[in-house]
Structure 1
Amino acid sequence: MHNIENEFLKVSVRNFGAELTSVLNKKNGVEHLWQADKKWWGWHAPVLFPIVGRCLNDQINFGEKTYPLEKHGFARKSDFELVAQTPISLTFSLKSSEATEKNFPFKFEFRIEYSLSKNKLQQRFEVINNSNETLCFSLGAHPAFNVPFNTNESFNDYFIEFEKSENLTRHRINNEGFFDGRKDLVSADGKIDLTPELFNDDALIFKDISSRSITIKSKKNTQQLKVSFSDFPYLGIWTKEGAPYVCIEPWLGCADTAGKPTDFTKKEGVLSLAANRSFSAAMFVEISAA
């Protein structure tokens, strides 16, 4: 386990999956990251790469070739190497290997950097194409935050406020995790009250919102947690029904649509990276000091 900290926050990250395991508010002692209680969900904040969600038949297609690839990809279950560290930053690296090429036929390096600035944590992703051909990929974040923040509150005391007052249209997925064409309006003012029932049909997935940040807020105090994701066009919000956490998931990519197999190069949300080039994207978690 590796730690970084400043006056406001103490953050822990493990090599396995380069996964964030703790985000502690030093001002009030509140642990904001879900502590992976397996009763509900045994992860903290998995990183999704090189796909987001499920592909049909749990495989990706490149022309006549197919490669097995499980939901959310292999990065979250891979051992990363810590390649750089300062008192306020950690950088991890995962490089392609014979093992990864059985599932994803590209030569790459995937870097994840965590860094602190006052009460803000940045998570920066970098994909480096080390081959002489175009690399296609998706990536995403899946951090789970404790809700409620405090023991004397309930899940229902909280709500999510989007940066902009806008219509929020949810794109639904079926029981297998694939889009099935269903859509419905979740909110007309950019605010969503958190209730266990909200997630009884899986995640809230948004493809066409204008907001570039959302904030978890309490109706009983001024504490709040803001997630900014200007580089990510898709957003998922999820928890298991009745669980005391909420996942805020910025994505570059999304699951397949039911019954519509496609070549991976044409899959919705997939990015194309030219030979010997790199791509980066960042998200931020900002925690109030109240």
Structure 2
Amino acid sequence: MSDPITIRTDTLTVVVDPLGAELSSIRRRDGVELLWQGGTAWTRRAPVLFPIVGRLTGDTLRHEGRAYTMTQHGFARDRAFRVVEASPARVVMRLSDDAASRAIFPFPFALELVHEVEGSTLTVIARVENPGPGTLPFGLGAHPGFRWPLVDDVAKEDHVVEFDANELPEALSVVGGLLGPPRPIPLDGRTLPLSEALFADDALVLPDVRSRSVRFVARRPDGSEARALAFSWEGYPDLGIWSKPTGAPFLCIEPWLSMASPVGWDGEFAEKPGVVSLAPGESRTMTWRVTV
């Protein structure tokens, strides 16, 4: 297996592991690490979610009369990607179907992840291609976890997520990993105050968000910004925000294409609400960025 690859600018150093094409580090010039480094609260750092986002009912993918076991968030995060390009500021990794993948996901596919840095910005581009003769149904999501608190001397409760557009003050509930009815959240127009209690019932799932960017902000008692991350996305209609209500020092900001199965739904995977389908020869590209 290939070693992790480092890309950098004068102000930003990023490490990407070919195992899962997963971000391992986002470090500022002053040495401050902004990506959660894994631990007992959550062992991962920024997994790629493919070919599903969230859970399927009974962890079962149904296709043409057969049932395949597919656990939460899919298998790409645990597979070794092939490095197809590497330069000082850009790395491209690729995963394609094989006998092992087709045993649990019976579709030809190619998934390419591009990580590139410019100035203080990391851009992550995901491209899914359908090289097969039939339709390719899939979901894809990003799951980066950032340190929370962003600054050691700012309390977690003095952080907010600021949306670039007004959003509804509700999120879909999560019931056993599946999607339930909407529940209220303390979102005031464009500002979501953060607290550990916010995640007592799992992630905040925001379907069809109007916003295409958020700012994750640490504020001092006088209202000034101690630190902020600017996070934006293209091609992802949905957003998840997740941590744990148990003192876990991370916050995940997750742009999604597709979501978990709704409670009570157990049909053909290709007909699952929110699933994306590519015709033979088609591809689809999604992008997210973070500026530190």
Q: Which moved more, 1:131-140 or 1:213-222?
A: 213-222
Spell out the pairing of 1:57-206 with structure 2 (5 A cutoff).
57-174=58-175, 176-206=176-206
Q: Choose which of 27, 32, 35 in structure 1 pairs with 2:37.
A: 35
What percentage of aligned pairs have identical amino acids? 35
Give the TM-score, by structure 1 length. Answer: 0.95
AA in 1 matched with 2:253 = I
Native 8 Å contact 2:117 2:123 kept in 1: yes
Q: Give the CA deviation at 1:96.
A: 0.5
Q: Determine the structure 1 residue equivalent to 2:243.
A: 239
Partner SS, residue 251 of structure 1: strand
| 8 Å Cα contact 1:168/1:209 also seen in 2 | no
Work out the CA distance in 2 between the residues paired with 1:256 and 1:278. Answer: 24
Over 3 Å counting, the alpha-carbon distance change for 1:196 and 1:12 in structure 2 is: same
The aligned length equals 284
Within-5 A mapping of 1:250-289: 250-287=255-292
Determine whether 1:12 maps to 2:12.
no
- Which residue in the other structure is 2:233 paired with? 229
* Structure 1 counterpart SS, 2:172: strand
State how far apart, in whole Å, the 1-side matches of 2:281 and 2:76 are. 21
* Number of the residue aligned with 1:211: 211
Partner secondary structure for residue 157 of structure 2: helix
Partner SS, residue 234 of structure 2:
coil
In structure 2, the residue matched to 1:23 is 26
C-alpha distance in 2, partners of 1:173/1:148? 25
Q: 1:158 is aligned with what amino acid?
A: H
Report if the CA contact (8 A) 1:168-1:190 is conserved. no
SS of residue paired to 1:156: helix
Equivalent pair of 2:110/2:128 in contact (CA under 8 Å): yes
1:168, 1:206 within 8 Å by CA — same for their partners in 2? no
Kindly state the Cα deviation for residue 211 of structure 1 after the two structures are TM-superposed. Answer: 0.7
Using the alignment, how far apart are the partners of 2:31 and 2:152 within structure 1?
Answer: 12
Structure 1 residue 180: Cα displacement: 2.1
TM-superposition CA deviations, 1:85-134 (whole Å, max 9, x none): 11100111111000000111111111100001211111100111111111
Q: Distance in 2 between matches of 1:172 and 1:63?
A: 30
TM-score by length of 2: 0.94
- C-alpha distance in 1 between matches for 2:167 and 2:203: 19
Distance 1:124 1:93 in 2: 12
Tell me the SS of whatever aligns to 1:187: coil
Of 43-52 and 208-217, deviating more is 208-217
Question: What is the rounded CA distance, in whole Å, between the counterparts of 1:188 and 1:35 in structure 2?
Answer: 31
Distance 1:85 1:267, change over 3 A: same
